[in-house]
């Protein structure tokens, strides 16, 4: 660096140039500035998520009722899988900082191993997120959407969720998915739900033990309100408009559309950061193997990419809190 700074002969003066008040290299400083600005981007997203949550405070879904899946295991296990994801990311942060530490000691082989482990950790996290998205999009129980865009879910008398496929009465249907080749070529239609509202209502009437679970939180218990049988029938018949299965950007079976939108956008943006991080880590990994930093005499590049990788972990800590805990 010093070669690029013109020596003014005023080295003893603070503003004379040549001194480094922050005691950090240009690259590291720029990485910190990027991290600060990226932190503001993410906090903008999370704060707007908070805005919508405060706006729809009474109908926002409870995370424990939404994220309940664990791969290869059936049943209701809230929190377990996200806790695993968090641990994976913290763990890969640890291997990253160990790589930085080994880099400081100019230990090429240990840096290589730790960079490799960091990449593996990142890949495990990304596949976990893919699983999380898949189950979220697929949905489990299905629900009925109301005219106002709200959601009606179904439970049995014990309060356990009941899937539409377990009670809806299938009727003969004429309606098929519209395809541009068989009708109006300029109109498209997405996949039709498995059942129509009429079929759901018929099934609901036939099963006396079914009740409606609204999206409204009961202040006293902290759970969603479950209506009585008569109220349930009335709610379903007067408000029910369409069948919702799983989640997309327009509607989802968990709650307000914004809930899924924020979920896709914020975890997606974070996942994008992780992907970039994995890519950078792979580049650094190969550079370490090739001996680039050995020849350069400094492993600072590992440290700079490490800063980014830790930042991604840092963001996840907040996403974890605001999507899954609070």
Partner 1 sequence: MADTHAHKLEIFRGLIKFKSNTQKIWGVLIFLSIVTAIEVVLGIYKPEILMGHLMGMKILNWIFIILTIVKAYYITWDFMHMRDEVAALRRMVVWTGVFLICYLVFILLQEGGYVGSVLTNGFVKSDF
CA dist 45 to 62, 251, 254, 308, 322, Å?
Answer: 20, 20, 21, 19, 11
Q: Which of 307, 119, 42 is nearest to 127 (CA)?
A: 119
Nearer to partner 1, 104 or 161 (CB): 104
**Min CB(262)–partner 1 separation in Å:** 13
Per DSSP, 181 falls in state: T
**Min CB(210)–partner 1 separation in Å:** 21
Q: Which of 23, 21, 18 is nearest to 1 (CA)?
A: 18
Residues of the shown chain interacting with partner 1 in the complex, contacts defined by CB under 8 A: 21-24, 29, 32-33, 35-36, 39-40, 43-44, 47-48, 50-58, 64, 78-80, 83, 86-87, 90-91, 93-94, 96-98, 100-101, 104, 146-148, 150, 222, 239, 298, 300, 303, 306-307, 310-311, 313-314, 317-318, 320-321, 324-326
**Min CB(95)–partner 1 separation in Å:** 9
Nearer to partner 1, 138 or 223 (CB): 223
Distance CA 82, CA 68 (A): 9
Distance CA 138, CA 200 (A): 19
**Min CB(134)–partner 1 separation in Å:** 22
**Min CB(264)–partner 1 separation in Å:** 20
Nearer to partner 1, 33 or 286 (CB): 33
Q: Which residues contact 174 (CB under 8 A, 6 or more apart)?
A: none
Nearer to partner 1, 38 or 205 (CB): 38
Nearer to partner 1, 49 or 167 (CB): 49
Please give the angle made by the CA atoms of 40, 42 and 48, to the nearest 5 degrees: 100
Per DSSP, 193 falls in state: P
What are 108's two structure tokens? 């090429």
Distance CA 241, CA 118 (A): 48
**Min CB(185)–partner 1 separation in Å:** 35
What are 294's two structure tokens? 């050995």
Is the CB of residue 97 less than 8 Å from the CB of residue 104?
A: no
Nearer to partner 1, 199 or 313 (CB): 313
């Amino acid at each position: 660096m010093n070669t690029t700074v013109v020596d003014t002969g005023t080295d003893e003066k603070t503003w004379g140039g040549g001194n480094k008040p922050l005691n950090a290299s240009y690259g590291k400083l720029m990485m910190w500035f990027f991290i600060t600005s990226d932190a503001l981007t993410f906090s903008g997203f999370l704060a707007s998520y908070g805005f919508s949550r405060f706006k729809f405070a009474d109908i926002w879904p409870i995370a424990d009722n939404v994220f309940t899946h664990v791969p290869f295991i059936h049943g209701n296990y809230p929190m377990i899988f996200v806790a695993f994801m968090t641990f994976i990311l913290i763990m890969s942060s640890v291997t990253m900082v160990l790589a930085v530490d080994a880099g400081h000691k100019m230990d090429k082989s240990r840096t290589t191993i730790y960079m490799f482990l960091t990449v593996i950790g990142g890949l495990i996290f990304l596949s976990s997120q893919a699983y999380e998205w898949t189950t979220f999009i697929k949905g489990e129980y299905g629900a009925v959407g109301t005219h106002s865009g709200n959601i009606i879910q179904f439970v049995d008398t014990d309060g356990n969720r009941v899937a539409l496929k377990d009670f809806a009465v299938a009727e003969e249907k004429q309606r098929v998915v519209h395809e541009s080749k068989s009708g109006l070529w300029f109109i498209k239609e997405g996949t039709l739900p498995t059942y129509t509202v009429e079929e759901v209502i018929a099934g609901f009437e036939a099963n006396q033990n079914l009740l409606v679970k609204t999206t409204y939180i009961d202040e006293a218990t902290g759970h969603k309100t479950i209506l009585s049988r008569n109220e349930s029938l009335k709610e379903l018949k007067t408000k029910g408009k369409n069948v919702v299965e799983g989640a997309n950007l327009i509607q989802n079976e968990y709650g307000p559309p914004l809930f899924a939108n924020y979920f896709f956008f914020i975890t997606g943006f974070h996942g994008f950061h992780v992907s970039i991080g994995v890519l950078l880590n792979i580049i650094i990994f190969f550079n370490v193997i090739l001996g680039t930093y050995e020849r350069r005499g400094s492993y600072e590049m590992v440290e700079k990419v490490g800063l980014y990788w830790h930042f991604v972990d840092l963001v996840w800590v907040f996403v974890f809190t605001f999507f899954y805990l609070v």
